[in-house]
Amino acid sequence: MMPQRVRLQYERTVCNPTAIVGCQVRRDPEGSTERYTRWINSLSPEQLYTQVFTSHGPTVVMPTWFCSRDWFLKVGPFDEGGKGVPEDLLWFYRSLRLGGSVLRVDECLLIYRYHQHAATHSVLEETIWTLRVNFLQERVLDQWDSFTIWNAGKQGRKLYRSLSLTNQKKVKAFCDVDEKKIKKGFYTYEDSKERPKPKIPVLRVKDASPPFIVCVKLDMTAGVLEESLASLKLKEGEDFYHFN
């Protein structure tokens, strides 16, 4: 920890007694998990809420957390189920469900060591996936009448299949930039028990309409995804949410 960490996070928490207060970090060794570290350190105050559904997990990383004892006692103890339990994500979601806020001190107050045997690597991807899908449905999709899944590929189709039947019926289309998927025209849910099997249109991005659930990884397309979202003048948290 940096010498000023406790003081700076304490000062934010005194004014925000129901908040999880995080901070920016520096990885050791330098350059470890470069995309993840950039994400941790550069989210805007609004994105600390809107990007809680991504595969990166909590928008303020657990080793940086600081909160009041009263708030910790209200949210309750960590899940002590042991290896493979994403106790940070479970606690983070529970805090948000109770109306807790998320803040970050925009100074590097922690050196965050990376090593290959960290407990985080024992958590199964499918465990995280199920928690994320359920939280997305609870917080967003259950309130929407319809939406478009941005990505007709593997991740977009997996999200569709993971949704409740009610929310599957709200998917009006997939959209993509891949001409092969667009020319095919639709995605057929072959494992559906419904007859006829659901067929979801696949559209070009420019022909699709919001709101969107974006199933394309951030910071992986040389800015193409981010430029596309900006060009459509969409507002994160209203017109779209990132899921991957």
pLDDT at residue number 84: 80
pLDDT at residue number 141: 98
pLDDT at residue number 226: 86
The residues, ordered by sequence, that sit 6+ positions from 18 with a Cβ below 8 Å of its Cβ are 68, 71, 98, 99, 100, 101
Confidence label for 78 from pLDDT (cuts 50, 70 and 90)? very high
- β-strand pairing of 212-214 with 147-150: parallel
As a whole-number percent, the residues of the chain with pLDDT over 70 amount to 97
Are the C-beta atoms of residues 121 and 98 closer than 8 Å to each other? no
196-236 pLDDT per residue, tens: 999 999 999 999 999 999 999 988 887 888 888 888 999 99
Q: Is the pLDDT of residue 152 over 90?
A: yes
How many C-alpha atoms does 1 have within 13 Å on its Cβ side? 13
The CATH T-level fold of domain 140-242 is Rossmann fold (3.40.50)
58-77 pLDDT per residue, tens: 999 999 999 999 999 999 99
Region 125-152: mean pLDDT is 96
> Where are the domains positioned within the chain?
5-124, 140-242
Cα–Cα separations (whole angstroms), residue 164 to 98, 138, 152, 174, 212 = 24, 11, 18, 17, 17
